[in-house]
Every structure is written in structure tokens, then in C-alpha cells.
Amino acid sequence: MRRIAIMTAGADAPGMNAAIRSVARRSFELGYDVLMVRDGFEGLVRGDIEIMNKKTVSGILPLGGSIFGCSRVSPEFAVQNLAKIRDVLESNSITTSIIIGDRSAVAVAAVFDANSIPCVVVPNTIDNDIFGTDFSIGFDSAITTISEALDKLHSTASAHHRVMIVEVMGRQSGWLALYGGLAGGADFIAIPEQPVPIETLATHLKQRKEEGKDFSIVVVAEGYPVTIHEPTVAGRPVAGYGLAEALASTTNLSIRVTVLGYLQRGGSPTVFDRLLATRLGLAAVNAVREGKTGILVGEVGQRIAFTDLREATTQPHIIPADIVLQAKTFY
């Protein structure tokens, strides 16, 4: 009898509950027992586990966040707690873990796999920085939030003829900035993959002003390198303010900063993310049924793809050069 444990690990992202629902419903359909693990890997080590039934997942499809709770741990945490993890899995007769999570969850799952603990990863992060899938669950919802925020910021930037610098999430990747900025009509998009001298940005903005554009919206990824100063908030570098300071030191433009922060992680998943979560949840359980573990399930070119966890952990998810080039048409 297969007994599947489901957990949500790393940062939460819209669509996690849709993925939980899909994994659970396919598992029930195949006659598997399904157990929920609270709070990701921390809950697993605590043994915070409970059997699920259809009621557990009733009505959760449109909910943001995770009904199980999340935690972000390092691979070292998993290594240090391997004995405890094995004990909890064995005492609950869990045959396979399905881990719905971000890039940090992929790294921990790779430790599981390297230690013969069967698991399958469903990629779920707003950052879209996971190798092995064109899009991670949560990304579309986050760029929708960014785009809506930029729509709102256009009116105030225009009223005051300002440069509005909008910082978005993404850790070290620029996916959110590029796609969110394009969707929201940004006038410049600063991504860590292609940093530019501050003079380039200043010239671009001054040119806009000379052409009679009385405001500009600049989207900057939180991982963008800003050399002038490294202002921090609660110990985290804030690229938006750093870019503003750098611009203010070379122009007399009126500049304001908006950091979108955790708004990008909130809210109900978009239709795209609900459907992606549903497809990947089904694919994860089907992989288990075929005896395939130690993999990440994704969609590449609209086809389900399995990627070895060792590869998914080491390979970056690069933004295709042609997409970056096309974006340059707009700034």
C-alpha cells in the first residue's frame, strides 16, 4: 500500500493549495493513503503529520498560501536531521514524499534522494528560478500582482512627473522583474542577469524627459547589484533605494521608491497557476505510480518533463536571451 506524504516547503506562493489538492485527489483515486506534513521540513522533523481525506482539500483550490504551513531550511538542516526524518517516515509507513516548494526545497529534496529517501518535487515559487520547468507555480500570479501595481503607479508618477522605482522580488533572478515589468509597461527594467552602468539608466530617463515623457516607471529586481550604497532594511539589501540614491547623485530627476515585497506572494492563484498546479500535481503522483522518484516534475514546451534532482539543484533557470532582447524594444 503506497502512503504518500505531502508537504509545502520553502517560501509560500499562490497555487500551493491547488497543487496539494491535485496530488491528494489523484492519490485518493489510485487508492493511496495521503498524509499532510505541517510546516514543511521543520514539521517533518517534529513528526507533525496527519492523515488526509477528501474533506481536507475541499474548497482549497483558490486559496493563496498553504493550508499546511511552510518553512525554509537549508540542505545542512536535512543532513543533520536525516536519522529523525527516516524515523518519522518509517513510523508513519510513508513510502514517498511529494514536496511542493521553491529552489531551497529542491536542494533539500536532493539530499533526501542522495540518501535513498524517495521523493518527487513540484516546483512552486514566485521566483521562477527552478531548472526543469518553463514556469513554476506562483510565477504567473506574482507577475499579475506586479503588473497591476505598475498600472496603479502610472497615475501618480504622471501626476507628479516623477521617476517611480519599483523593486520586485526574485532572489538572484530577474524573471519577475522582466515579465512583470513588460506586462506593466515599465520604461526600464533592471535585472541582475544584465546590469548596466547607472549612467546608461540616467541617460535613458533624461532622454525620455526631453521627448516630453513626463514620468518613468523603472522596475528593479531585488538581486540587482547597486554599488553606490548598500542600503538595507531589516538587514536585507534594498536595491530600489540603492538605485534611487545612485540616480539622484547623477540627475535632478524627482524620484520615489516602491518596494512591492510580500504582496507578490499573496492572493488567490491566477487561472494559469491553478491549471499548472493541477497538471503538475497529477504528474507527480503518476511518476510515483511508475516508480519514478528523485525527480522534479515540470512543463517544458507544454509537455510534462522529469528532471533529476541533482541536475535541478545545480542548474540555474536562465532567462532565454531572445526574450531579454525582445524586451529591449520597450526600454
Which positions are annotated as active-site residues? 127
Binding ligand F6P (rule: CB under 6 A), the pick from 113, 127, 167, 187 is 127
Binding ligand F6P (rule: CB under 6 A), the pick from 11, 45, 255, 319 is 11
In the complex, minimum distance from the CB of residue 261 to ligand F6P, in angstroms, rounded to a whole number? 9
Residue among 148, 150, 100 at smallest CA distance from 125: 100
- In this complex, which beta carbon is closest to ligand F6P, that of residue 137 or of residue 202? 137
Do the Cβ atoms of 6 and 34 come closer than 8 Å?
A: yes
Residue among 239, 3, 284 at smallest CA distance from 132: 284
* 65 interacts with ligand F6P by CB under 6 A: no
Do the Cβ atoms of 61 and 18 come closer than 8 Å?
A: yes
In the complex, minimum distance from the CB of residue 107 to ligand F6P, in angstroms, rounded to a whole number? 12
Long-range CB pairs of 317-323, under 8 A, 24+ apart, other chains included: 317/128, 317/129, 317/130, 317/131, 317/132, 317/133, 317/173, 317/175, 318/193, 319/173, 319/174, 319/175, 319/178, 319/191, 319/193, 323/178
What CA–CA distance (Å, rounded) separates 79 from 82? 5
Three-state secondary-structure class, residue 203? helix
Binding ligand F6P (rule: CB under 6 A), the pick from 33, 39, 42, 102 is 102
Stretch that binds ligand F6P, among 113-121, 125-133, 157-165, 242-250 (CB under 6 A): 125-133
Stretch that binds ligand F6P, among 169-177, 184-192, 240-248, 318-326 (CB under 6 A): 169-177
Stretch that binds ligand F6P, among 165-173, 250-258, 272-280, 293-301 (CB under 6 A): 165-173
Which residues, 174 to 233, sit near ligand F6P by CB under 6 A?
A: 222
User: In the complex, which residues of this chain contact ligand F6P (CB under 6 A)?
Assistant: 11, 72, 102, 125-127, 169-171, 222, 265
